[in-house]
Amino acid sequence: MTARRTTSQRHEVPPGDGLPPTAWAVLGLLSFPGERTGYELKKWADASLRFFYWSPAISQIYAELRRLEARGYATSRRSGPEEPRAKRSYAITEQGRAALAGWAGGTEDAGPPVLKHPLLLRVWLGHLTAPDQLRALVAEHIAQTEGDLKEARDALARAAGTEAWSHPHIALRWSVRRLESEVDLARAMLADLEEADPPAAETTPSSEPGPAGAGQPAEDSPTPG
Amino acid sequence: MTARRTTSQRHEVPPGDGLPPTAWAVLGLLSFPGERTGYELKKWADASLRFFYWSPAISQIYAELRRLEARGYATSRRSGPEEPRAKRSYAITEQGRAALAGWAGGTEDAGPPVLKHPLLLRVWLGHLTAPDQLRALVAEHIAQTEGDLKEARDALARAAGTEAWSHPHIALRWSVRRLESEVDLARAMLADLEEADPPAAETTPSSEPGPAGAGQPAEDSPTPG
DNA sequence: GTGTACATGTAATCCGTTACATGATTCC
DNA sequence: GGAATCATGTAACGGATTACATGTACAC
């Protein structure tokens, strides 16, 4: 409900582009010099874009490449007999570059960032789970995020050699910091959970004993937090 | 490629539930005491779950509610003539609560958090955009995030009165901190962008002048960072 | 009496995933 | 010779959105 106008009445398709975000991402990969196969694009996306954008199914990359070509935003070329493998390599066209630059420059709103965090949903539903089990889930998430963080750092280190690609580099730095923050956030939440529901232990003989009204709040209460 | 096993061979559908994440979220909303209409669920999701999970289309909430009822996870009741409006109210069943508790407890992996950040894609593609235009996009994102942050803080303040709902409260606290971090991250990125490409100004007479090899790196270079 | 909020749905469409199918090349 | 990687695609399906359709209640 955050504004986001519905383009007015009578289904007039956005005259210009109307491409899904994934198409722009694929075209973006092609915007760097050189030509590439769908397979290569997939590997590349998994190594960089995945940290802040997405990691698409390979079948969809092929589909987007065909669409991009149909629009004149990319051209493709079958490998000749000199190359060992039969494959199809794509390159961006002038038209494609212009359209992409328009998208990247922000003439049409690219939409807000989307975050879908199942762990948080589980925490939100913490009343259904045993406290230590919930904390274990958070701890597991921390471990997993630390793994991602390591991978992002490796990617950043790899990219450090290849200079002149400053913008991908900046995006990766953002990703590393973001993952660091994700770990911090999870740790802070763990602390909150412990405070709200101290682990069964002999070292906390203060405050309320426990089973007062923690179970079910008054019936018919309106939408909480 | 972060593990995430493909459930092994031969399409054996997950025997138990196989519900999409959205269904669990809707059922989760129902797991708090009281009965609610689809319309109320939508409003509630927009006021809380949206900060860390999702904000579904109203039509889909109705669809999920019907599915949940078909599975026996929820029951519905039409409003009688005593109520001013004709509507259908849903409540969770014992079965539904049990299934949801199983999901929330983590027996089946709920999947990793998903982040799709169009701004970062644009930054990654910064070579296509004028430096100050790109910085303007980041600045706009900061402003927008600060708006979200304010809303999240308001939600937290509203929830502060309604105690005993400690878990939703903890999730909201996480969201507030997360949005604060998002602002910090964007500011840091802005600084990186300024360093990489100093704004046309008279106050920085040091380091390299600029247009050396910043345009197109050597042709045929392999997949960069 | 007009607009907004409440309230529920259907239909069309599309993005995206999973599963399936196929085959060549390279590495061990 | 067998596994992993390279390489490309089709088919089925499902989740989710947008647009459309409809109507009541309430506030101003």
Question: In this structure, is the CB of residue A110 within 7 Å of any atom belonging to strand C?
Answer: no
pLDDT tens readout for residues B180-192 = 999 999 999 999 9
Q: Residues 152-171 of B near strand C (Cβ < 7 Å)?
A: none
Nearest chain A residue to B151, by CA: A2
pTM confidence score = 0.85
pLDDT tens readout for residues B1-12 = 333 333 333 333
**Chain A contact present for B167, CB below 8 A:** yes
- For strands B114-116 and B88-92, give the pairing: unpaired
pLDDT given at position B201: 67
Q: What's the mean pLDDT in A203-224?
A: 45
CA A61 / C1′ D2 distance in Å:
30
Burial of B120 (0-12, 13-18, 19+ CB in 10 A): buried
Q: Which residues on B lie below 8 Å from A177 (Cβ)?
A: 185, 188
Residue B52 has its nearest CB partner, among A104, A117, A155, at A117
**How far, in Å, CA of B152 to CA of B140, rounded?**
18
Is the Cβ–Cβ distance between B111 and B21 less than 8 Å?
yes
pLDDT of A163 over the 80 cut = no
DSSP run (H or E) holding B115 = strand B114-116
DSSP state of A7: -
DSSP run (H or E) holding B101 = helix B94-105
pLDDT of A8 over the 70 cut = no
Task: Label residue A145 by pLDDT band (50, 70, 90).
Answer: very high
**Helix (H, G, I), strand (E, B), or coil: what is residue A219?**
coil
**How far, in Å, CA of A167 to CA of A173, rounded?**
10
Task: Label residue B127 by pLDDT band (50, 70, 90).
Answer: very high
CA B224 / C1′ D12 distance in Å:
36
Q: Which nucleotide is nearest to A57 (CA to C1')?
A: C17
Residue type at B114? V
Q: State the number of CA atoms in the 13 A half-sphere of A40 facing the CB.
A: 15
Q: Which residues on A lie below 8 Å from B225 (Cβ)?
A: 48, 155-156, 158-159, 162, 165, 168-169, 172
pLDDT tens readout for residues A79-119 = 887 888 899 999 999 999 999 999 999 877 788 999 999 99
Residue among A124, A112, A120 nearest A182 (CA): A120
Measure CA to C1' and name the residue nearest C19.
B11
CA A86 / C1′ D9 distance in Å:
13
Residue B181 has its nearest CB partner, among A52, A181, A224, at A181
- Extract the tokens encoding B128: 């296509």
Q: State the number of CA atoms in the 13 A half-sphere of B139 facing the CB.
A: 9
pLDDT tens readout for residues B67-121 = 999 999 999 999 887 888 899 999 999 999 999 999 999 877 788 999 999 999 9
pLDDT of A59 over the 60 cut = yes
